[in-house]
Amino acid sequence: VKPTFEFWADAWTIGVAYNWSGTILTKADCASVNPGKEVYTPWASGNDGYDYRRCKACGELFVRATAAVYEASTTLADSMALNFILVSDFEKYYKDISVECSDGEAVYDSAKHRASVQNIGPQDIGKNYTVTFTVTDKADNSVKTFAATNSIKNYAVTAWNLTSNANLKTALIDMINYGATAEVYKGATDESKLVNADLTDEMKATQSTMLTAEDAAAYAGAEYKNVGDQTDKAIKWTQVSLVLGDSVSIKYYITAAELAEDDALVIELGGNSTEVAVSELTKVGEGQYTYVFDKLNPSNMRSAVTASFKSGNSAELTYSVAGYVAAKSTSKNEELKNMTLAMLTFGIACEKL
């Protein structure tokens, strides 16, 4: 008697289908077991960034990356960025990846498999950004679109709830408080709508004590706007200032009748040196140049930043964010004073990470 072997179910089952050919038993083509019926179970999310399904006939497992953002992160470097991250092998399954942002620009980095909304200012820590991905499925060339919405504040609160690192908890809440003072500096007047308005008492218990004008005064001195003797120097520093925008930057103002093409501006911070070619300086007038140094991390706010020209034709200029804050701590502009004190408080918290 010719036996019949048939394994079929709507659930995930491991079975094997066979065909008889005379006295030889061979494995059947899965699609021919029950012609006209769906061979595979529906795709199901594994909640790990991947979808799974099985062949109903033989039980073979198939995997693909879920067309969705897997996780989020925040970059706190020379500026703030909000990252929307895909699983690490996403491009094994999808191609032609493009991104759009609801406010500003999102940049996709295939090496890090993430889209980043960059240059977010402290006043926008609470703003929601929606990033939309459009991708093509390599399996069938179908186009898929998916989106995710997040804010730096939402990420910070989530991270605060998940971490047991006390220093990280402090830095996250200090960052949100810094954002609130930046909102006020930019004109916000309703305290109930500030980004830190809904912080819980438990969260507030982990924040730093906000620096006062007296505290900041301890950071004033030689590291703030100290310029060597420029009397006989062909290249002179005419001004240096802090730029408080989407990031914290130092702007240098330079006067020189002539700059040699092979000369360079050398900026040193925390043991690292950045060499800026003369061609990268911005000419703003006859013999007048500027340069914005935007490589300051939050943890660098108490660090001395020195600048000089490689040729030796300039004096050495030393500057620090902390010195700037100390100078502004007695300002009559309360909004500016409070923001810079909160900024330095956040920076000191970041030093401990």
Question: CA-to-CA distance for 183 and 171, rounded, in angstroms?
Answer: 18
Residue 250 near residue 243 (C-beta atoms within 8 A): yes
Percent of the chain with pLDDT over 70: 88
| Cβ burial, residue 54 (10 Å; 0-12/13-18/19+) | buried
- Mean residue pLDDT of the chain comes to 89
Assigned token pair, 303: 């660090």
Residue 340 near residue 324 (C-beta atoms within 8 A): yes
> Is pLDDT at 350 greater than 90 in this prediction?
yes
> Is pLDDT at 8 greater than 60 in this prediction?
no
Residue 314 near residue 232 (C-beta atoms within 8 A): no
Assigned token pair, 194: 């500030």
Tell me: the pLDDT tens digits for 73-114? 999 887 899 999 999 999 999 999 999 999 989 999 999 999
> Is pLDDT at 57 greater than 90 in this prediction?
no
What's residue 28's pLDDT?
57
Q: If phi over 0 gives left and psi between -120 and 50 gives alpha, with beta otherwise, what is residue 139?
A: alpha
What's residue 245's pLDDT?
81
Q: Which residue has the higher pLDDT, 2 or 142?
A: 142
Question: CA-to-CA distance for 227 and 234, rounded, in angstroms?
Answer: 15
Nearest to 265 by CA among 283, 280, 247: 280
What's residue 120's pLDDT?
94
Tell me: the pLDDT tens digits for 198-247? 999 999 999 999 998 888 877 655 456 788 899 999 999 999 999 988 88
Question: CA-to-CA distance for 128 and 57, rounded, in angstroms?
Answer: 47
**Three-state SS annotation for the chain:** CCCCCCCCCCCCCCCCCEEEECCEEEECCHHHCCCCCCCECCCEECCCCEEEEEECCCCCEEEEECCCCCEEEEEECCCEEEEEECCCCHHHCEEEEEEEECCCCEEEECCCCEEEEEEECHHHCCCCEEEEEEEEECCCCCEEEEEEEECHHHHHHHHHHHCCCHHHHHHHHHHHHHHHHHHHHCCCCCHHHCCCCCCCHHHHCCCCCCCCHHHHHCCCCCCCCEECCCCCCCEEEEEEEEEECCCEEEEEEEEECCCCCCCEEEEEECCEEEEEEHHHCEEEECCEEEEEECCCCHHHCCCCEEEEECCCCECCEEECHHHHHHHHCCCCCHHHHHHHHHHHHHHHHHHCC
Largest interatomic CA distance in the chain: 110
How many C-beta atoms lie closer than 10 Å to residue 330's C-beta? 10
Least confident residue range of 121-125, 235-239, 327-331:
327-331
